């Protein structure tokens, strides 16, 4: 076998020159509509090309406005085509995925001389399986209530005209129970059972992905597939996959791939979740409900007329509710609200595993005796899920995974369900050997990776990219922040827990909203504080001015809130964590970003607490090594919502006096966009 290093140009000069030429004045990109030459974009394209051509890894911060997606896509396409390798492009948000698939990649398909194929890869449960749909319709009477049967009919009519068969294409999502009976499942919807003639949407998507030169997916799916591939539970290899199915691909997910992570600042959090453990009360109830729902008297046991299965499933459902009730009573939610850390094994007695195991065995045995293959596959899938959940419960109670942090979380809109969770405290230990292997380049890029210093050391350490084989580059923004924005710091704001804080917060928020005549994001670190300020200002401020107030969590979805905000030029949006990043509102609709507090993570959040404990155990300072850098990164994301194009202008108001009263405030001020004026309002 030829050594991997022989496939690479020693210094990558050829690919670097061609990649930079695409973005140079008079280059291929100059033919694109509205193209403006940006030296920063050309530089980033060259850095990505050099990493790919030399088989190295790269961490690159590229400021807002660089045009980083095209800058990494162009060299990635060139390298993929010339070396017959597959480019995996992973993002955090749906918006960026859609931009890549429907805007950026089509531009390159028109401009580059060689043709290439692209594909959007979603998790299989996003896709309809026509075979499962047909089976569900045959068993409608035993599986669904009247309203659910109507939903099933609607899904069927949609299936006759949809092009991609994905959940996002449905005008109105069906209930979880209905969709779970018709979506693709790994042990039911297979290449063998759902061949090309079946018209299976997932298998069609899988074939497109296998043939594509560039595959776009999200971080959650990437790490889910990576974990499943390592465990031998998922086969995502290409059409050129090896004959030995027990051998994992030489690449990350496919036989010969490389990866680019955009919005890379979210990688650590997503990887921790996807590589961790989670068993939810709702999820277990839903899986058992596929067998039998005592309320509706529907399910697979009803199809099979299996009275013993009905009895045993009913008993396990009852025990599930009792078990999670005990979990909720035993967990201490006083400190962290929705989350309660569990430090010792055996939080509650394991009254669930034996019942789950017995039911799993019965389901598996019933499946083995059935002649009807589709029903056998359905039962086998349920048995597999029950086994995984049983193992998850047991692992959580005995705290069987080393170097993990364990916690119970309240879930659902009313926080009436519970979930058992575990996550690795130090994700870098897992990611280092998985991602940073010789000859399989991994590129990380984002507008915000630095917390001081051009080596991007903090981010690199957090994701295991701190080896000598990983290069780093920091590229500034082409925007003129001195002219486009101004930052105000409210130096007289009282401490958050002091008397008079709520009144001061309302007063200062009103002051800066009047400056911009609405058109503002008001960003919070506390959901309760956001609700309290909305209640305080809605009647006394917003109705007076006739401005629309959009508050996260009240009625509209995140996407609908953004649509309303963009449409109404005098609206104000109150948002928490999900609005600090990944939100793009260019133009006049947004002229003000108000940051109510510096975004330090709650110190008693289980994962934050465990990470700080590990740093302290190793002789470090948790505040300066973790809490402060994390807050600076999030602060930079929040400030970055304001200026999205060269014509955008506006203000940022920081309503937290710690920026001037604490020594660490200087680090936040230094993290502001280079050149932007700052006024300390005393």
Residue 171 pLDDT grade (very low, low, confident, very high; cuts 50, 70, 90) = confident
Looking up tokens 């430090």 gives: 343
Nearest to 668, CA basis, from 601, 602, 600, 621:
600
Gyration radius of the chain over CA positions = 26
What tens digit of pLDDT does each residue of 115-147 get? 999 999 998 999 999 999 999 999 999 999 999
Beta bridge partners of 574: 522, 551
Query: Distance (Å, rounded) from C-alpha 19 to C-alpha 75?
Result: 5
Identify whether the C-beta of residue 313 lies closer than 8 Å to the C-beta of residue 360: no
pLDDT(240) > 70: no
Sheet with strand 442-446: strands edge to edge: 118-120, 214-218, 86-91, 257-261, 442-446, 57-62, 470-475
The residue with greater pLDDT, 569 or 240, is 569
Determine the 3-state secondary structure of 515 from DSSP: helix
Looking up tokens 């295991």 gives: 464
Beta bridge partners of 278: 421
pLDDT(7) > 50: no
Query: Distance (Å, rounded) from C-alpha 242 to C-alpha 484?
Result: 54
Residue 231 pLDDT grade (very low, low, confident, very high; cuts 50, 70, 90) = low
Percent of the chain with pLDDT over 70: 95
Our CA angle for 518, 520, 522, nearest 5°, is 120
Query: Distance (Å, rounded) from C-alpha 120 to C-alpha 406?
Result: 34
For 567-574, what is the mean pLDDT?
A: 92
Per the structure block, which two tokens stand in for 362?
Answer: 């019965």
Looking up tokens 């959580």 gives: 396
Our CA angle for 52, 57, 58, nearest 5°, is 95
Please report the pLDDT score of residue 239 as a whole number: 41
Which DSSP symbol is given to 9?
-
What tens digit of pLDDT does each residue of 48-82 get? 999 999 999 999 999 999 999 999 999 999 999 99
Please state the φ and ψ torsions of residue 24, each to the nearest 5 degrees.
Answer: -75, 160
Please report the pLDDT score of residue 571 as a whole number: 94
Q: Residue 467, Cβ neighbours under 10 Å: how many?
A: 10
pTM of the complete model: 0.91
What tens digit of pLDDT does each residue of 257-276 get? 999 999 999 999 999 999 99
């Amino acid at each position: 076998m030829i050594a991997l290093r022989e496939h690479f140009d020693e210094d990558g000069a050829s690919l670097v020159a061609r990649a930079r030429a695409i973005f140079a004045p008079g280059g291929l990109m100059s033919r694109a509509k509205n193209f403006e030459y940006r030296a920063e974009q050309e530089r980033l394209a060259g850095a990505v090309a050099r990493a790919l051509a030399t088989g190295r890894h790269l961490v690159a911060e590229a400021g807002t406005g660089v045009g980083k997606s095209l800058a990494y896509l162009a060299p990635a396409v060139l390298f993929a085509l010339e070396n017959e390798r597959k480019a995996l492009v992973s993002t955090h948000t749906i918006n960026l995925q859609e931009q890549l698939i429907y805007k950026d990649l089509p531009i390159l398909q028109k401009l580059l001389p060689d043709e290439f194929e692209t594909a959007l890869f979603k998790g299989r449960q996003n896709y309809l399986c026509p075979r499962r749909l047909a089976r569900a319709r045959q068993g409608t009477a035993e599986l669904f209530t009247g309203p659910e049967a109507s939903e099933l009919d609607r899904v069927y009519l949609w299936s006759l005209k949809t092009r991609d068969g994905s959940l996002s294409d449905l005008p109105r999502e069906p209930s979880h129970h209905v969709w779970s009976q018709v979506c693709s499942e790994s042990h039911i919807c297979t290449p063998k059972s759902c061949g090309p003639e079946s018209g299976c949407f997932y298998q069609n998507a899988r074939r497109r992905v296998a043939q594509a030169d560039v595959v776009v997916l999200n971080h959650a799916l990437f790490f889910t597939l990576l974990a499943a591939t390592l465990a031998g539970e998922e086969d995502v290899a290409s059409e050129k996959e090896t004959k030995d199915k027990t051998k994992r691909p030489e690449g990350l997910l496919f036989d010969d791939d490389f990866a680019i992570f955009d919005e890379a600042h979210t990688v650590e959090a997503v990887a921790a979740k996807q590589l961790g453990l989670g068993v939810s009360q709702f999820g277990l109830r839903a899986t058992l409900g596929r067998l039998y729902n005592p309320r509706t008297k529907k399910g697979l046991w009803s199809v099979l007329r299996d009275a013993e299965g009905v009895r045993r499933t009913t008993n396990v459902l009852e025990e599930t509710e009792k078990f999670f009730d005990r979990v909720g009573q035993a967990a201490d939610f006083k400190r962290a609200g929705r989350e309660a850390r569990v430090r010792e094994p055996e939080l509650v007695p394991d009254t669930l595993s034996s019942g789950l195991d017995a039911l799993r065995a019965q389901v598996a045995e019933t499946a083995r005796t059935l002649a009807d293959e589709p029903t056998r596959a359905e039962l086998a899938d349920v048995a597999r899920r029950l086994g995984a959940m049983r193992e998850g419960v047991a692992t959580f109670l005995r705290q069987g995974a080393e170097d993990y942090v364990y916690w119970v979380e309240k879930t659902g809109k009313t926080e009436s369900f519970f979930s058992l969770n575990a996550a690795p405290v130090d994700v870098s230990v897992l990611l280092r050997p998985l991602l940073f292997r010789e000859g399989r380049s991994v590129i990380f890029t984002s507008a915000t990776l630095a917390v001081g210093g051009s080596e991007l050391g903090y981010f690199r350490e957090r994701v295991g990219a701190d080896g000598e084989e990983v290069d780093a580059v920091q590229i500034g923004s082409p925007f003129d922040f001195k002219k486009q924005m101004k930052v105000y710091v409210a130096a007289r704001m009282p401490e958050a827990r002091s008397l008079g804080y709520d009144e001061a917060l309302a007063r200062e928020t009103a002051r800066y909203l009047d400056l911009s005549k609405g058109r503002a994001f008001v960003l919070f670190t506390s959901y309760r504080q956001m609700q309290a300020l909305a209640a305080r200002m809605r009647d006394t401020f917003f109705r007076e001015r006739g401005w629309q107030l959009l508050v996260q969590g009240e009625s509209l979805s995140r996407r609908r809130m953004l649509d309303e905000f963009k449409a109404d030029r005098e609206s104000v949006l109150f948002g928490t964590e999900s609005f600090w990043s990944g939100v793009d509102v260019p133009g006049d609709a947004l002229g003000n970003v108000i940051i109510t507090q510096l975004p330090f993570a709650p110190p008693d959040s289980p994962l934050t607490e465990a990470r700080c404990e590990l740093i302290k155990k190793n002789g470090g300072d948790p505040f300066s090594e973790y809490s402060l850098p994390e807050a600076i990164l999030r602060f930079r994301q929040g400030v970055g919502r304001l200026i999205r194009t060269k014509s955008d202008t506006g203000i940022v108001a920081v309503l937290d006096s710690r920026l001037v009263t604490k020594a660490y405030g200087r680090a936040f001020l230094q993290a502001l966009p280079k050149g932007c004026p700052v006024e300390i309002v005393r």
